[in-house]
Amino acid sequence: MKVTVVGAGAVGASCAEYIAIKDFASEVVLLDIKEGYAEGKAMDLMQTASLNGFDTKITGSTSDYYKTANSDIAVITSGIPRKPGMTREELIGINAGIVKTVSKSLLEHSPNAILIVVSNPMDTMTYLVHKTTNLPKHKIIGMGGALDSARFKYRLAEAIGAPISDVDGMVIGGHSDKGMVPLISHAARNSVKVSEFLSNDRMQQVVEDTKVGGATLTKLLGTSAWYAPGAAVSGLVQSIACDQKKIFPCSTYLEGEYGLNNLCIGVPVVLGKNGIEKIVDIELSDAEKAKMKESAEGVSKTNGLLDL
């Protein structure tokens, strides 16, 4: 199993590290445009192999896509991150050009690869890949909901005073400060609805903290987060590589599902060896349906800024 990660920056390197530590891929290629940067990150990570006990071979490449040839899965993290005070949508100008070129180069050398899009604004970048490549839609996956759901679980556990492993929750919708839809109606502590443990006001606070999870970290760090994003990507990659068929909320092209059309947005999907093997239709409350519609309008508006 060969995995390429384009962009050896904060998220790309974190993602490569988690993939290696989980030790399911034979090879990870990191590629970046900065001269020597990916090679340096790869060498540094390889020097953790004996310490962390993995056999995955990590190599680096400066813009040489021949080294990525015949990848089974490719992750696109290349592009600029936001700074405090910015929205993800403001990154569209620079990142659209990068994502378009990178996806084309990847597919020239790995025509059978499954692509995972991470660069922001992620739902619009996923849509861009859908519109500008010939890849079937089940092979184009946007990562956002897996991360947002991890943040939702973190906030739920904090509010309830429960261990995170006891808490389950999912965030669908657009990966944006306003567009995320944390699914309160499905959130549970070991099968008991979270409403048994939290007041409406506390629940609303959890929802708001989840939605601005990325912005909160960006303010603290001066740039956006990387550990949880890298771990979230590695979970998607593992489910595909090992054909685990796990459910994650991912951005995917919708054709009528959830009443939505002609956009990529986060919905629950089954991830297996073919990429997105099924879009899972779950029951939403009326309030969640209305929020999903509003979120889709936001994503479509950003998509309208693309030069297609």
Ligand X SMILES: NC(=O)c1ccc[n+]([C@@H]2O[C@H](COP(=O)([O-])OP(=O)(O)OC[C@H]3O[C@@H](n4cnc5c(N)ncnc54)[C@H](O)[C@@H]3O)[C@@H](O)[C@H]2O)c1
- Token pair recorded at residue 120: 């922001």
- For residues 22 and 36, give the distance between their C-alpha atoms in angstroms, rounded to a whole number: 26
Q: What tokens appear for 231 in the block? A: 């771990």
Q: Which does 38 bind (CB under 5 to 8 A by kind): ligand LMR, ligand X, none?
A: none
**Residue whose tokens read 């015949």:** 70
Contact residues: ligand LMR, CB under 6 A: 81-82, 88, 120, 147, 175, 214, 218, 224-225, 229
Nearest to 288 by CA among 152, 185, 155: 185
Q: Is 59 in the site for ligand X (CB under 6 A)?
A: no
Nearest approach in angstroms of CB 257 to ligand X is 21
Q: Which is nearer to ligand LMR, 42 or 147 (CB)?
A: 147
Q: Which of residues 195-234 bind ligand X (CB under 6 A)?
A: 223-226, 229
Q: Which of 109, 130, 138, 175 is catalytic?
A: 175
Please select the residue that binds ligand X; options are 16, 20, 32, 59, rule is CB under 6 A.
32
Q: Shortest Cβ distance from residue 192 to ligand LMR (Å)? A: 28
Q: Which residue is nearest to ligand X (CB)?
A: 9
Q: Of 68, 119, 126, 295, which lies in the binding site for ligand X, with binding defined by CB under 6 A? A: 119
SS (H, E, C) 193-237: EHHHCCCHHHHHHHHHHHHCHHHHHHHHHCCCCCHHHHHHHHHHH
Out of ligand X, ligand LMR, none, what residue 130 binds, judged by CB under 5 to 8 A for its kind, is: none
**Binding-site residue set:** 7-12, 32, 82, 88, 95, 118-120, 151
Write the DSSP symbol of residue 90.
G
Residues shown for the chain? 308
Q: Is 138 a catalytic residue?
A: no
Q: Which residue has the tokens 């390197």?
A: 13
Beta strands in the chain (DSSP E): 2-6, 27-32, 57-62, 73-76, 114-117, 140-142, 167-168, 171-173, 180-182, 188-189, 192-193, 246-255, 261-272, 275-279
249, 170 contact by CB (below 8 A): yes
For 197, 250, 267, 278, the CA distances from 186, given in Å and listed in that order, are 14, 17, 14, 19
Closer of 84 and 259 to ligand LMR (Cβ): 84
The helix/strand/coil state of 17 is: helix
Q: Is position 60 an interface residue for ligand X (rule: CB under 6 A)?
A: no
Q: Is 252 in the site for ligand X (CB under 6 A)?
A: no
Q: Shortest approach of ligand X to residue 214 CB, angstroms?
A: 7
Of 74 and 157, which has the nearer Cβ to ligand X? 74
Q: What, of ligand X, ligand LMR, none, does residue 159 touch, CB below 5 to 8 Å by kind?
A: none
- Fill in the per-residue mask, 87 to 116: x = in contact with ligand X (CB under 6 A), - = not in contact: ----x---x--x--xx--------------
Alpha-carbon distance 204 to 216, whole Å?
A: 17
Instruction: Report the partner that residue 218 touches, choosing among ligand LMR, ligand X, none (CB closer than 5 to 8 A by kind).
Output: ligand LMR
Which of 41, 7, 40, 4 minimizes the C-alpha distance to 19?
Answer: 4
Q: Could you tell me the end-to-end alpha-carbon distance of the chain, in angstroms, rounded to an integer?
A: 33
Q: Among residues 69 and 212, whose Cβ is nearest to ligand LMR?
A: 212
Query: Which one of ligand LMR, ligand X, none interacts with residue 56, CB within 5 to 8 A by kind?
Result: none
Residues that bind ligand X (CB under 6 A): 6-12, 31-34, 37, 77-82, 91, 95, 98, 101-102, 118-120, 122, 143-144, 147, 175, 223-226, 229
Please list the active-site residues.
175
